[in-house]
Chains A and B, each alone.
Chain A
Amino acid sequence: MIEPSGPGVPGLVRHGAVGPLPRTTGRQIVVLADAGDDRPVDWARVGLHSVADSRDFADGDVPPQTLQDAEATVFSALGIAVVAAEPGQLGLLQTAGAGGRPVLSVSPELVHRVLTGTPRDVGPYAAGYRDGVADLAGRLLAPGAPPATAGPARFEDTVQATWGVQAVRADASAATGRGIRLAVLDTGFDSAHPDFAGRTIVARSFVTGEDAQDGHGHGTHCIGTACGPRTPATGPRYGVAHEAEIYAGKVLGTDGSGTDAGILAGINWAVTSRCPVVSMSLGADVMQAHPPYSAAGRRALRQGSLIIAAAGNNADRRAGDPGFVGAPANSVEIMAVGALDQALEMAYFSARSLPARGGQVDIAAPGWEVYSAWPMPTRYNTISGTSMATPHVAGLAALWAESTGHRGLELWATLVQESVRLLQPSVDAGSGLAVAPHGGVAA
C-alpha cells in the first residue's frame, strides 16, 4: 500500500518512541494481481521503459546487475516487481483507468540484514530482562501475593456463548460451515434433540446390534460442539459450525466401547461420503502408531478428508505425569488435538507429544468445562477432555473449508498456519489455539 507519509529517504534511520524505523532503499515492491493473469503491466503509463522480466533469463535467475540497471524487474513466478520509482508515480497503476495487469499493492523495499545481537542491541534487551525479573520478584515476594500459576481466567461462559466458542472466535466469524459435511465418529447422536430440528443429519451405525441413536451422551456432546446451532432456544451458543451438514457415525456402542473394525468402517463411510472433516474423540493408550490408522489418514487426506483426533487424557500434570499421545492421534497423518482451560493453559489431563514421528500434539482447543448438547431429557451437560477439544477444531476446520475451499493437507496447513501461538510448550499445545476465519466466504 502507498503510505500517505510519502517516500522513505534511502538509508535514513529515524528514531521515535517505538524505536528505529526500518531502512528502505528508495525502490518500491509492486505486487501484481493473481499470477493467472499473464498480461504485462502498463509500465510505460508511469514512465518506465527499461523493464526486465525473469522469464527472459535461464531458470528465472535474474543477475544482480540487471536488478541494479533496470527501472523495473518483474519476477514472473511470484507476480512481484521491484521498481525504481517514487511511490506516487506508481499510484497510477492502481487506478481504475490503468490498462494491463492490475497492481494490488506498492510498498517501499526494506533493507534486511543478518540478525545478530551486537553489543549495541543487547543493552535494551538486558535492561528489559532485568526490569522484568525485578518486577516479577517484587510481586511474588510481596505479602499475600497469589501463586504464580493461578492466573486469572481469561474466558468464561456468558449468556451469549460458551467460553470455548468465544476463545476460538467462532462467534466473531461470518463463516458457518454451510455446504460442508462434517463427520463425527462417536457414540451416535440423539436425533430427537430439539436444538437440531431442521438440520441436515445423516446418521449411520457401525456397531453390531445398535442403531445410530446415542445411548451414552459423548457423541451428542461432540456433535453439539462441532455443529450446534447459532442461537439455541435456551442457553448460550455452544456450537462452532452451525450450518455444517452433520454426518453422525456410530462407532462406539452405548457402553462406550468400540474396535478398529467399526472405527475404520466409519472413516471409510465418511471419506466415501465426501466429508472434508472427520472428528474422532476416541483413542487407545498405546504409544506405537497403529499402521491401519496411518494408512487410513493418508488415504483420507488424499481424497480430501482431514481426520482430527483427540490427543488423549492419560496425563496427570498435577502429579507431574505428562502422559503421551495415543492411537489414532499418534499417526503422523492424523491431526492430534490437546485440551486448554479458560486461561489457555493445558488442562491437567491433556497428553504430551511422544518423541516418535507422528506422536506429536498438532494443535489445541478448549477442553475444560465444556458445555454442550446431551441426549434428552437432560439436554445439556458440562464435561472436560481432549474429546471436547477435538470437535472445536473439527468445527473450525469446516469454517475454513467453507471460506477457503481448502481440503486435505491444505486444510490441515490452514488450521495450523492460522492458529494463535500460546505461551505453552509446543509438545503440549502444538501450533497453539485453533481459531475461526475472520470474515466470510472468499469470492
Chain B
Amino acid sequence: MTHVSVTVDDGHLAALDGVVQGLRARGMQVDQVLDSLGIITGSVAPGAAGGLSAVDGVISVDEQLGVQLPPPDAPVQ
C-alpha cells in the first residue's frame, strides 16, 4: 500500500464527507480526516494514487514523506 495525503480545495472544506466518500469509492483506505487543514490521509494500492485526483474537490494527492532525526547522541540534530 502507498501512504498518501490528499489536499482538498477551499471550496470543499465545508463538505469533506463527500470528498471522503469519493476517495473511498476509488479504493482509498481513509485513516484521518483533518478538518482544520482540509487534508485527508490514508493509503491506496500501489499505482492507484493517481486516480484519487479525479475526485471532485481534490487539488493534490501526494505520497507521504518520511522524516528521520539523527540519533540522540549526535552533535548536530
Residues of A at the B interface (CB closer than 8 Å) are 187, 216-218, 221, 252, 256-261, 263-265, 267-268, 271-272, 281-284, 286, 290-292, 295-296, 299-300, 303, 313, 327, 349, 383-385, 387-388
Q: Is B72 part of the binding interface, using a Cβ–Cβ cutoff of 8 Å?
A: yes
- Choose among A218, A267, A271, A291 the residue that contacts B72 (Cβ–Cβ < 8 A): A218
The interface size of chain B toward A, counting residues with CB under 8 Å, comes to 28
In the complex the two chains form, is B39's CB within 8 Å of A257's CB? no
Interface residues of B in 42-72 (CB under 8 A from A): 59-60, 62, 64-72
Q: Is B34 part of the binding interface, using a Cβ–Cβ cutoff of 8 Å?
A: yes
In the complex the two chains form, is A387's CB within 8 Å of B77's CB? yes
In the complex the two chains form, is B72's CB within 8 Å of A290's CB? no
Q: Is B14 part of the binding interface, using a Cβ–Cβ cutoff of 8 Å?
A: no
- A residues within 8 A CB of B67? 252, 257-259, 263, 282-284
In the complex the two chains form, is A261's CB within 8 Å of B76's CB? no
In the complex the two chains form, is B36's CB within 8 Å of A303's CB? yes
Tell me the nearest residue of chain A to B70, going by C-beta. Answer: A256
Q: Is B38 part of the binding interface, using a Cβ–Cβ cutoff of 8 Å?
A: yes
In the complex the two chains form, is B69's CB within 8 Å of A256's CB? yes
Tell me the nearest residue of chain B to A267, going by C-beta. Answer: B37
In the complex the two chains form, is B65's CB within 8 Å of A259's CB? yes
In the complex the two chains form, is B71's CB within 8 Å of A256's CB? yes
- A residues within 8 A CB of B34? 264-265, 267-268
Residues of B at the A interface (CB closer than 8 Å) are 3, 5, 7, 31-32, 34-39, 41, 59-60, 62, 64-72, 74-77
- Choose among A216, A257, A299 the residue that contacts B66 (Cβ–Cβ < 8 A): A257
Top 9 nearest A-B pairs (CB, nearest first) are A256-B69, A291-B60, A260-B64, A268-B34, A292-B5, A385-B77, A261-B41, A271-B36, A217-B72
- B residues within 8 A CB of A300? 36-37
- Choose among A221, A257, A286 the residue that contacts B68 (Cβ–Cβ < 8 A): A257
- B residues within 8 A CB of A252? 67, 69
- Choose among A217, A268, A286 the residue that contacts B36 (Cβ–Cβ < 8 A): A268
In the complex the two chains form, is B41's CB within 8 Å of A264's CB? yes
12 intermolecular pairs with C-beta atoms under 8 Å apart: A256-B69, A261-B64, A267-B34, A268-B36, A284-B66, A284-B67, A291-B59, A295-B60, A299-B38, A384-B76, A385-B76, A385-B77
Give, as a whole number of angstroms, the nearest-CB distance from A291 to chain B: 4
Q: How far is the CA of A29 from the CA of B36 in the complex (A)?
A: 47
- A residues within 8 A CB of B41? 260-261, 264-265
In the complex the two chains form, is B39's CB within 8 Å of A292's CB? yes
In the complex the two chains form, is A384's CB within 8 Å of B75's CB? yes
Tell me the nearest residue of chain A to B74, going by C-beta. Answer: A383
Question: With A268-B34, A291-B60 as given contacts, are A257 and B69 in contact (CB-CB < 8 Å)?
Answer: yes
